[in-house]
Structure 1
Amino acid sequence: MASTNSREWRAVCEKFRRAQDLSEIESRKDPENDPFRSKYKARELLKEIYSSLKNIDADESENEDSDCQLDQSAEASAGTAALKAYTGDSRAGLRIAKLGVIDYYLGVNHIETEELSAGEEHLMNCMKFLDKCTVTRENVSLFIQARNQLGILWAGRDETEKAQGFLETAESVYVCYMKEDGEPPLDLVDFFVTEEDAPSQQERIRRFGMAYTHTLYYLAQVYKNLEQFERAGQYCHCTLQRQLKFNQFVPLEWAINAATLSQYYITKSRYMEARHCLAAASVIAGLAGEVPSEAAAKESETECEKREQLRQKSAEISRCWIKYCLNLLQDAKKLLEDNIGELDLDRQEELQRARRNEEEEKERGRKTAILFDSGDTFDSICGLEEKVSCTFPLSFEEARAIFLVGQGHVTQAKEYFEMDGHVTDHIEILQDHSALFKVLAFFEQDLERRCKMHKRRVDMLEPICKDLNAQFYLLICRQLQFELAETFYEMMDLKLAVADKQDQPDSHTIKKFNHLCTASIKYYQMFIDSIRSPEGKFPEKLEDDLLRPALVAKFRVARLQSKIISVNPTTQVENLSQSLESYNFVVQYCEEHPEAKNVVETELELSEEMASLLPIKINRIRSKMASSNIE
């Protein structure tokens, strides 16, 4: 670098620093009508640096034989002096790396200003420079970050497999480098800083680690898009771990990502991992109200906006906790229920005996691989985990403890997702609350107490169902109508089981039983009527998503109509005739549409049986009525 003195190099470094400030800091203040103003200024500075490097390259080529002179000029360049401390590569290699770095930043600049083709061109130029070199401490970070950017670029174009190739190469470069060398490599800014401004060893380690963290994060998105969900989950979890390790995260963003990951673990019944993610999400979200991390400090939101965002994200995390508790209870129910959906006491006892110490040891062994060891917050995460189980509840007491955690988060979620302004979200939370009561009732063996739990479900859903406008919320109305009908139906079955234990049900019990029957019929009928055309005509062929619900509703209406207790023979005949009509509807529909038979196989079999028995019963009552009239 014979033509370059210290002052000239410092000028290059100052241009680079200025370009970084424009792109990363001042660009946030750009007006809406000129959103890329600062980034365009940064681009011009980068182009000037590129030209300077080309000139330096030409000068050095002319003086390549003057080794002593080259050494002196290199020492005059503080940036090159810093590089020499890390690498024994040729000066030509350093020049190539510097040009590659500027091409990289120009590529990122064009992408950020939505000029994707130009961005791709610069990044590919960077790749061409890198192809001339072996991977060393001076260029490994550039190797990884250039491929990261190309991975993002192609993923944005829905070229997922192409993105996968760049990102997996970046991952393998990192892994190979750490295995074969492992020393802190140069950061991209090392090429254009004076010696006094060069990053510390610790900062280089942190930046290199974060480049790899970004690789893992982008790969998680790629694997998700490729529907490789297991790998996506692994990479997402690893990303979150590394973000905490390097303290490079925005608390609310990190917390939401962790809570979202918990929902994946729930689908795989991996409740220990899900609980750990949720506990970490809750703790880290709390940091948003404290001193922000380095990344969070760059945000320019007002305090009011931050508080509102904190309320919203905290409510979203609570909703994830609700799903955790609900799914844990529902999966336990599947383990414990018999072929008619009741608690299998023998199975319950068997599973309770199966709980061995070695299973607990196995869980502890698994846990070491998934911990978010985040220093000061680690104890808080573990403490929160201890408040809710991650094993299947096998008794009412264990189920109730999980239920109460879920119910607590229902209260927290509803504080933000109020009915006024968040109709759909509010109702979904209520539906989850209802589902929590439903699954808790499964563990309760006292029939009267079970009935009261279902009554709580009615009390929370019925007012909403009455007030909701079906014209705007048809799907939600149908869901509520069907759930209310099912709830009253379950309460009717419970009252019937209680009545069977009595020698002679009293008038109050009969009245209550009939009320439950008619209430269930009412909501099933509302659901059925919602399927009709504006002219009141029932469709000749039901849509696939309505086929089973509609036929089940008709079947249960038939059963309910036949169960209503009346001492008046005329009323009995009317109820049984209506029941027969509903059973015949199910049978006739399946005859006209054979594809429906497999969808309602059990209901169809019972409907056919009742369609043949009910006429006999109706005729018997009519005969008795006729005999009574003759007498």
Structure 2
Amino acid sequence: MTILKEKLSDFKEKFEEAQKLIEETKTETLEPYKNHYRAREILCELEKNLLNVSDSFKDDEDDRLTINAILGYVMKDIGKISMFVDETSLAQKYFQRTIELLEVDKNSLKIIVCFVDVLNQLGILWSKLDDVEKSKSYLLKSEETANQFKEMSKIQPLTIFDVFGTSDEIEKGKGQVSLEKTCTLTYFYLAQVFGQLGDLDTSAKYCHLTLNRQLELKDYDPVEWALNSATLSQYYFGKNMLKQSRHLLAASSYMLANFSVDLEACELLEDQRAAATENLKHRTADVDLCFAKYCMYIIKTSIERLLQEDESGTDTDAAQFKINTSCERFPLELSVYEQQVTDQFVLTYEDAKHVFLEAQSYLNKAKEYYNLDSEASQYARIIQDYASLFKHLAFFEDDTANQAKLHKRRADQLEAVQKELNPTFYLNICRELMFELGLTYSDMLDIKCEKLKFEEVQPQTLSKINKLCHKAIEKFQEFIDSYKDKKTNEIPETLDIDDYQAIGCAHFNLGRLFYKIITPDKKMQLDNTQKSLLNYKTFLNYCDKHKEVGERMKGEKGVTQSMAELLPHKIKKLMDEISQ
């Protein structure tokens, strides 16, 4: 029996009515799900009608597949609406019923797209219910089913609207595009699931597949695609896949540059253009920051690599410093963007300076969007990155005077931004700045002290050393005080272990700094030595009280124990000299 065209037309009309309700902009604030509930009512009524007529056409294979295909789409959409309105039990019921209905015919041209999509929906559902393994199993089945169909079938699949029409009304190619887009979503969801499971390599693989498929299908938002590509790059440079990371960043820049040109030529209303321009500026700044992080990673890891080489006395070949040169490329011409920065670790000052300047350029561009007035937190992070760049470049500088100048630039950047931030609103960032400034002045102090070993001692040099000591002491003490309860003036007992480690580390540095102050006055020497011992003992108390702090800082703990034994003798000797 042939299904009457009029009946299919009625089914299609109801299905489209439900789809229109779902797609309409939701303006109701008191009834946010009103359209969805109404759409579900229509689909449930359509489900009943389809079930009522299904027996009439079970003897005709083509008609049976048509009815089942439409019924599958209807039940799947009822499940999707139920999941959207947080009725997960009902959603699961409908998705499972759809699977049971379509499983036997999953390789049918009329059914494959729906079947793959409902497997995706079950993957999403179980992810929301925190059963990530079950989510993964459905998504992998979705991927496998789609791949098997594409290998077996030489005929393109059909969309739901192709199913409603006659063979003459089929829109050629749309079914294949619909299947491919559904597969792209499968890869996207798999990327999230593997990320939740901690399998970051597989997650990154599916992220890259998703981006590549979006390009092939020309189905993407350029700005969103660029941001996702740049975000993925951050994972790859952490694996020393510098070529892959740079390629992803270059693709991001390419995409944003092209979109900027297209936006200029596009006819838009004033508010639409303003919104699109703002979004472009925002995400361009984010991509610039990702590029800067890539450059900073190269310099920082190059330093670690060289330090390990110095310790071993041989060329380092450790796994953590081996560059993986493999690169899955996009079908884009990106050489202009890739040539701006290296995909290798650096060895010399000149090479490091080139990467430093590139990073600085990206940070400058990002700072145009993330300024102090509008985005104070992000602006402060950018300045911290600036400071880190000067610190890393100083490592490659042989001249101690130039090293000191680079650290001075580092300190100036941090001091300037700390003065602008109100610690009431930006306490955590201010603490980071205080601590980093303490370390910066300590680094400058070490350079001065090292230089003192090879030149005649001058009063001016001693004055600079003491000044740096006091600046570093001031910052570390300011950091510790920021944790103290204003009423009791004591450190609370409810902090995280990371905070206790940072406070302990500050005391360790204070112990070291008080001992480095140079003065001929015996009483001042005694006072500084006593303060040094007090801070060293405080650090040891933190290590005893918080065992994890002691485990994390074994090296510092060993040094401190030695000083805690030495300093009482030093104090006694000074007291004897003063009494005489």
Q: TM-score, normalised by structure 2?
A: 0.88
1:146 matched to 2:98? The reply is no
Q: 1:541 to 1:225 in 2, by over 3 A?
A: closer
CA shift digits 1:303-332 (9 cap, x unpaired): 222222222222222222222222222222
What letter corresponds to residue 146 of structure 1 in structure 2? V
Aligned partners of 1:618, 1:211: CA distance in 2, in Å? 75
CA shift digits 1:201-229 (9 cap, x unpaired): 3x332222111111111111122222222
Deviation, structure 1 residue 3: 6.8
1:302 matched to 2:299? The reply is no
1:573 matched to 2:511? The reply is no
CA shift digits 1:583-614 (9 cap, x unpaired): 34445665677775444433333334334444
1:513 matched to 2:465? The reply is yes
Deviation, structure 1 residue 458: 0.8
Aligned partners of 1:90, 1:427: CA distance in 2, in Å? 65
What letter corresponds to residue 140 of structure 1 in structure 2? I
CA shift digits 1:186-213 (9 cap, x unpaired): 2232101355642223x33222211111
Aligned partners of 1:429, 1:117: CA distance in 2, in Å? 46
Deviation, structure 1 residue 144: 0.5
Q: 1:463 to 1:134 in 2, by over 3 A?
A: closer
What letter corresponds to residue 189 of structure 2 in structure 1? Y
What letter corresponds to residue 477 of structure 2 in structure 1? Q
What letter corresponds to residue 225 of structure 1 in structure 2? Q
Q: 1:591 to 1:57 in 2, by over 3 A?
A: closer
CA shift digits 1:8-54 (9 cap, x unpaired): 54454455455444443xx1265445555555565565456556645
Unaligned runs of 5+ in 2: none
Deviation, structure 1 residue 447: 1.4
Q: 1:612 to 1:11 in 2, by over 3 A?
A: closer
Match of 2:357 in 1: 404
1:176 matched to 2:158? The reply is no
Unaligned runs of 5+ in 1: 65-69, 71-88, 353-358
1:527 matched to 2:485? The reply is no
What letter corresponds to residue 407 of structure 2 in structure 1? H
CA shift digits 1:87-123 (9 cap, x unpaired): xx54333332232233233333444455544444433
Partner SS state of residue 337, structure 1: helix
Deviation, structure 1 residue 543: 5.4
CA contact (8 A) 2:497 2:549 kept: no
Aligned partners of 2:55, 2:382: CA distance in 1, in Å? 68
CA contact (8 A) 1:30 1:37 kept: no
- Find the partner of 2:516 among 538, 553, 563: 563
1:207 matched to 2:178? The reply is yes
- Find the partner of 1:321 among 291, 301, 307: 291
CA shift digits 1:119-168 (9 cap, x unpaired): 44433332222134352333222221121122222222223223222211
CA contact (8 A) 1:223 1:231 kept: yes
What letter corresponds to residue 472 of structure 2 in structure 1? S
- Find the partner of 2:452 among 485, 499, 506: 499
Q: 1:136 to 1:318 in 2, by over 3 A?
A: same
Match of 1:372 in 2: 330
CA contact (8 A) 1:255 1:280 kept: yes
Match of 1:78 in 2: none
Q: 1:515 to 1:129 in 2, by over 3 A?
A: same
Partner SS state of residue 508, structure 1: helix
Aligned partners of 1:213, 1:299: CA distance in 2, in Å? 32
- Find the partner of 1:488 among 441, 461, 465: 441
Q: Which moved more, 1:130-139 or 1:487-496?
A: 130-139
Match of 2:206 in 1: 235
1:191 matched to 2:163? The reply is yes
- Find the partner of 2:235 among 256, 259, 264: 264
Aligned partners of 1:298, 1:208: CA distance in 2, in Å? 32
Q: 1:626 to 1:257 in 2, by over 3 A?
A: same
Aligned partners of 2:15, 2:539: CA distance in 1, in Å? 76
CA shift digits 1:286-345 (9 cap, x unpaired): 3443548xxx99999822222222222222222222222222222221111159xxx779
Larger radius of gyration: 1
Q: Which moved more, 1:273-282 or 1:168-177?
A: 273-282
Q: 1:52 to 1:589 in 2, by over 3 A?
A: closer
CA shift digits 1:460-507 (9 cap, x unpaired): 1113324433333332222111110000000000111222221x1323
CA contact (8 A) 2:529 2:567 kept: yes
Aligned partners of 1:541, 1:188: CA distance in 2, in Å? 59
Match of 1:417 in 2: 370
Q: Which moved more, 1:93-102 or 1:422-431?
A: 93-102
Aligned partners of 1:198, 1:390: CA distance in 2, in Å? 49
Match of 1:478 in 2: 431
Match of 1:386 in 2: 339
CA contact (8 A) 2:103 2:115 kept: no
CA contact (8 A) 2:143 2:183 kept: yes
What letter corresponds to residue 483 of structure 1 in structure 2? E
CA shift digits 1:66-105 (9 cap, x unpaired): xxxx8xxxxxxxxxxxxxxxxxx54333332232233233
CA contact (8 A) 1:481 1:527 kept: yes
What letter corresponds to residue 28 of structure 1 in structure 2? T
How many residue pairs match? The answer is 573
Aligned partners of 2:312, 2:462: CA distance in 1, in Å? 30
Aligned partners of 1:382, 1:35: CA distance in 2, in Å? 48
Matches within 5 A, 1:47-446: 50=47, 53-54=50-51, 57=54, 59-60=56-57, 90-133=62-105, 135-195=107-167, 197-201=169-173, 203-291=174-262, 302-337=272-307, 350=315, 363=325, 366-367=326-327, 370-373=328-331, 378-379=332-333, 381-446=334-399
CA contact (8 A) 2:3 2:63 kept: no
Q: 1:541 to 1:584 in 2, by over 3 A?
A: farther
Deviation, structure 1 residue 519: 0.6
Deviation, structure 1 residue 428: 1.5
What letter corresponds to residue 303 of structure 2 in structure 1? K
Q: 1:557 to 1:11 in 2, by over 3 A?
A: closer
Q: 1:192 to 1:508 in 2, by over 3 A?
A: same
Match of 1:76 in 2: none
Deviation, structure 1 residue 533: 3.0
Partner SS state of residue 99, structure 1: helix
Deviation, structure 1 residue 541: 9.9
Q: 1:126 to 1:601 in 2, by over 3 A?
A: closer
Aligned partners of 2:127, 2:253: CA distance in 1, in Å? 31
RMSD: 3.4
Q: 1:161 to 1:610 in 2, by over 3 A?
A: closer
Identity, in percent, stands at 31
Partner SS state of residue 269, structure 1: coil
Q: 1:39 to 1:195 in 2, by over 3 A?
A: farther
Partner SS state of residue 177, structure 2: helix
CA contact (8 A) 2:383 2:417 kept: no
What letter corresponds to residue 287 of structure 2 in structure 1? I
- Find the partner of 2:400 among 427, 430, 447: 447
Q: 1:2 to 1:275 in 2, by over 3 A?
A: closer
What letter corresponds to residue 515 of structure 1 in structure 2? K
Q: 1:327 to 1:500 in 2, by over 3 A?
A: same
CA contact (8 A) 1:3 1:59 kept: no
Q: Which moved more, 1:35-44 or 1:303-312?
A: 35-44
Partner SS state of residue 302, structure 1: helix
